[in-house]
Structure formats: structure tokens, C-alpha cells
Structure 1
Amino acid sequence: MGRRPSMREWLTIQQAAFLVGRKKTSVYDWVKSGRLPSRVGVNGVTEVQSQEVLRVESSVKRGRPRGTASRNGENK
């Protein structure tokens, strides 16, 4: 049986967003709010741990918050 390639431990914000299918701004929001720890890598780029990204993403609901007006002005 073949060995599966391992996931990198540290990812850039862009890589993390791609991993979980979210926008970069969402990942930056998680960092800013303190939900997702980060570090500045040797190249000066913000990095996050891949396992932490998966943990945080699974706890965050997708979509518009309940009671927020839609584009046509209706609440759902």
C-alpha cells in the first residue's frame, strides 16, 4: 500500500484558505479574533498551522448570519 503524502505543518494564509475552501479574509479574521494562532515565517509571511486551520474551520458556520438582509432586502 502506498504512503499518503503528509500535509505541511505550517501554511501561508493563501494556502490555508485554499485548504478549507474559504476566502483569505476569513482566515485573516480567524487570526485577528484570536481563534487561529499564527506566526511570521522567515520570509516575513504570516503562517498558520494546518491542523489548527482544519479545527477552526470545522467550528465556524458558513453563510450569512441569521437575520441579516439578503441582496434583495428580505430577511431569511
Structure 2
Amino acid sequence: MKEWITVKEAAVLTKRSRRAIYEWIEDKKLAMVRDDRNHMLVLAKAAVRLSHEIRPGRPRGKPTRRP
């Protein structure tokens, strides 16, 4: 396995959406660097570890609609 992978590869590896990977990066839960072509790269091991720690889906107790 490569050490640094693209966001798309991380999404496939973790079986999550690319949006979820971007949110992890924005929330500082996942480290990111940019390559020479300005592509975002994340640590593969960290993405897999984080995918096991964070459950998929909407958190319980959050309403789906506004009252």
C-alpha cells in the first residue's frame, strides 16, 4: 500500500464518500499534503484507522428536519 493516497483513493479504500474525506481534512482529523500537481494527498493508514473510529451515517439524536 502506498503511504500517501489521493482523496478519491482514500474514499474507495475506506468505503466512504469523497465528501466525508474532505470533511475529515477540514476538521483536522486527517493530515493532508499537496503534491507537485496540487492534488490533495492523505496518509493511507490514518484514513483506514479513522474510518474504523468514526461510524458512518447521521449521529443519533440529530433531527432530519427543522421544526
Identity, % of aligned pairs?
28
TM-score (norm 1): 0.78
Q: Tell which has more relative contact order, 1 or 2 (C-alpha 8 A, sep 6+).
A: 2
Alignment RMSD: 1.2
Q: For the residues of structure 2 that align with 1:40 and 1:16, how far apart are their CA atoms?
A: 15
Larger Rg: 1
Deviation at 1:33, TM superposition (A): 0.2
SS at match of 2:5: strand
Shift of 1:35: 0.5
The alpha-carbon deviation at position 61 of structure 1 amounts to 1.1
Q: How many residues align?
A: 65
CA distance in 2, matches of 1:19, 1:68: 28
TM (norm. structure 2) is 0.88
Instruction: Using the TM superposition, give the Cα deviation of residue 17 of structure 1 relative to its aligned residue in structure 2, in angstroms.
Output: 0.3
